[in-house]
Amino acid sequence: MNKKFVVGFGILISGFLLAGSRTSSGTQDVRQPKLQYEVRVAQKLIQVSVLDKSGNPVTDLAKEEFELSDNGKRVAFDQFERRTMGVPLDELSSQPGGQAINRRFFLIFDFSLSGVRGLQKAKQAGLKFLDEVLQPRDEVAMVTFTMPVGMRVHEYLTMDHERIRKAVEGLGTGPLVGRAENLARFWVSQADRAAQKGRQELGEMQDYEYAAQYGDLSALNADKKMDSLNQALQFSKQLRTLAKSLRSVPGTKNVILFSDGIPRQILYGTRTRTMSTMSEATSADQYAAQNNAYSETQVPRQNTLNAYQKMMEEFKTSNCPVYTFDTGESRAGADISVMEGMEGGGQISSSSGETLREIANITGGRYLGNTSDTAKAVQSVKNITGAVYVLGYPVKDTWDGKYHKIKVKVLRKGCDVIAQTGYYNPKPYSEYSTDDKLFQLMDLALSDNPQFLSPGGDLPFVVFPVWDQGWSYAAGIARVSGERTAEILGKDVETFLLVLNAKNDILSISNMSFGGVAPSKGDLDGRFVIPMKPGSYTFRIVARNRTSGWGARGNSTLVISDASAAAAWVDPPLLLMPASQVVVAEATPAMALSTLYPYDTAGYMPALGPIPAGTLDLWAVLRCSGALAQADLSVSGTLAAGSEATGTAVPVTILKQQPGGSAKCLFVQFPVSGLLPGTYTLTFEVKEANGFLNGKSAVSFKIK
């Protein structure tokens, strides 16, 4: 789709605009990110499956039995491994050289042409696949295609298989909205709002198919009619968009397509009366008129055929073999006794089955047949994906986006070789389409193994509960170290916060704007306080540089207990250590963390990571609410190592008492000198000096 969709990319998800430190002249010094697009040498890994004539994996091949070429040139591969994918870890010990790695599967359910029986058939096959093929390390995504809605990525690559199972079980029972769809809806809605306000920091949104599905359907999809020809066109165009986005995901991405298939006559046509009577024309004018009428009927069909062929080619070149389950009306004896690509035999339910066979053949997958007995189909997928060889060789990563054609040959006779047909060089983020950026965001925010994390790993990030004036809140701190600020801070970075419940459903997605720029030097603590009801949550903060595409994220779990009826309450301690050039930025100034937990930010900073061995003292802020806020208080501490149930007394000194919102805050100090490396839990007990009120709160830390 080449129509232009004007949006404000800079406001799409508000930038990580963080408060910066000022130089002596009063101006702000902004570090400029360096784009990491230089030519470098990388190890290219090619996955190869080898089957015998019976369709069983061949696992005893030696390095010398393989030949590999890249763009027609023979290459010597210096890395050779046998990897076992999807085998339980306790079985690996019996396999010399075997190494368990994760597989990636995309389950695509196409219901655009299916009836009730087809839907039930797809669900049964999908559940069978989940039960018999998946292993704990496998990553799975779930996609549906319906009309007039179009394609929906409900769940992106995840190892939460139970979540995928529940989604499959819910097919046909009502609206199905997953985490990836929630993220896409939020992302596009922010773009729409920015465009309406005339904010276009990074220009226009172009070359999109998937993102448009979350825009104004009446305006953007007015041409998407419900006839079969348009359904086939939209199916081909939108799945091609998904395939293109997977170019940047390394390794093999196995696509399992559950579909009735596109009727072959929709794509390739049939002999019509117009065509058959053209030879009966009695004049040149009549012939021309009939020829023009016939040509006009073929233009839409040709457009659909072109889109269909491009979709198959994109899956092939993106290393996404498609395994097709035919969910159409079956005929007796339909099975997969004949492997795809072999002549003769094999039962196909209809002309729709012919296109499913074609998709599998072109992309390097398998047509898995049309039958209620899915055992053979499941076994076929297990055989192909269960054990692979990995051939590795050095290549220059040139960031030009060009395609390299790969050919793998096995010298042993009688072997069926299934290998990726090529790979794309990476390309600059500025050349990504809108859909590419959206799918990349799904990977960064939702995947268990994201591909676009900047060097340095996860951000130090902690979220803890706070009660103030009878209301519960979640307070969070995310730290960006000095060496990473140029890459993942500043005006060219978009940052947002995801909140998930105990079932891992997304409850909310919100912008995180910190109102400034990246600090000129030192670390930065981005902080927020937001209202939250009592319960169990997971918080994820995600930042992405809109220039380079690299990003970072941090995760933290939170349990908020109901303290609304408590006479006295002590919130979790905020553990502190001496500061070293840390700039503080509040995302929620109306409810700032500095108000709830007051301390000298120039002298101290939250201890978000391990404490260096040899540290003499640590500090903490204790918030005391209810009746404790009005009393004279004393504090004692008990330190336990590891999982010990009992601990030893630790002296705690109150250095300062001051208000913190509606609570009384105690700034305390305690010694940690002499502690060996390990994990410790310090429990503070706060008591009324001349009464019976008391409260306890604990904090864990690690000495490294």
User: Which of 28-32, 40-44, 427-431 is predicted least confidently?
Assistant: 28-32
The predicted structure's pLDDT at residue 429: 87
pLDDT in tens, 219-240: 444 444 457 888 899 999 999 9
For residues 508 and 497, give the distance between their C-alpha atoms in angstroms, rounded to a whole number: 8
Cβ atoms of residues 452 and 418 within 8 Å? no
Secondary structure class of 421 (helix, strand, coil): coil
27 vs 30, 115, 428, 482, CA distance in Å?
Answer: 10, 66, 32, 19
The predicted structure's pLDDT at residue 270: 62
- pLDDT tier at 95 (50, 70, 90 boundaries)? very low
Of 344 and 429, the one with more pLDDT: 429
- pLDDT tier at 345 (50, 70, 90 boundaries)? very low
Secondary structure class of 111 (helix, strand, coil): coil
Total residues belonging to the chain: 704
CA-closest candidate to residue 545, choices 202, 156, 199, 249: 202
For residues 619 and 601, give the distance between their C-alpha atoms in angstroms, rounded to a whole number: 13
- Domains of the chain, residue spans: 104-269+286-374, 453-703
- pLDDT tier at 204 (50, 70, 90 boundaries)? very low
User: Which of 42-56, 335-349, 358-372, 452-466 is predicted least confidently?
Assistant: 335-349
> Left (φ > 0), alpha (ψ -120 to 50) or beta: where does 282 sit?
alpha
Element spanning 701, H or E: strand 694-703
Rg (CA), the chain: 30
| pLDDT over 90 (residue 331) | no
Burial class (CB in 10 A: 0-12, 13-18, 19+), 42: exposed
Cβ atoms of residues 129 and 164 within 8 Å? no
66 vs 63, 80, 81, 391, CA distance in Å?
Answer: 6, 10, 12, 9
Of 616 and 2, the one with more pLDDT: 616
Average pLDDT over residues 141-155: 90
Q: Which CATH architecture has domain 104-269+286-374?
A: 3-Layer(aba) Sandwich (3.40)
Residue 54: Cβ within 10 Å count: 8
pTM of the entire structure? 0.80
The predicted structure's pLDDT at residue 320: 96
The predicted structure's pLDDT at residue 347: 38
pLDDT in tens, 57-94: 998 999 999 999 999 999 999 999 888 764 443 444 34
Q: Residue 365 is encoded by which pair of tokens?
A: 């997958």
The predicted structure's pLDDT at residue 215: 54
pLDDT in tens, 282-329: 666 665 666 566 555 555 678 899 999 999 999 999 999 999 999 886
Burial class (CB in 10 A: 0-12, 13-18, 19+), 619: buried
For residues 248 and 401, give the distance between their C-alpha atoms in angstroms, rounded to a whole number: 10
The two domains 104-269+286-374 and 453-703 share their CATH topology (first three levels equal): no
> Alpha helices of 55-136 — where are they, by DSSP H?
116-132
Query: The CATH number of 453-703 is which of 2.60.40.10, 3.30.930.10, 3.90.1150.10, 3.40.1260.10?
Result: 2.60.40.10
The predicted structure's pLDDT at residue 541: 94
pLDDT in tens, 161-174: 999 999 999 998 77
For residues 307 and 621, give the distance between their C-alpha atoms in angstroms, rounded to a whole number: 62
Secondary structure class of 444 (helix, strand, coil): helix
| pLDDT over 70 (residue 24) | no
387 vs 27, 100, 147, CA distance in Å?
Answer: 59, 9, 38
Cβ atoms of residues 497 and 558 within 8 Å? no
Residue type, 661: G
- Mean pLDDT across the chain: 81
Average pLDDT over residues 247-273: 84
Q: Residue 620 is encoded by which pair of tokens?
A: 């903490």
pLDDT in tens, 400-410: 889 999 999 99
Q: Which residues of 667-692 are buried (b: 16+ CB within 10 A; e: fewer)?
A: bbebbbeebeeeebbbbbbbbbeeee
Average pLDDT over residues 596-619: 94
Burial class (CB in 10 A: 0-12, 13-18, 19+), 266: buried
For residues 5 and 138, give the distance between their C-alpha atoms in angstroms, rounded to a whole number: 36
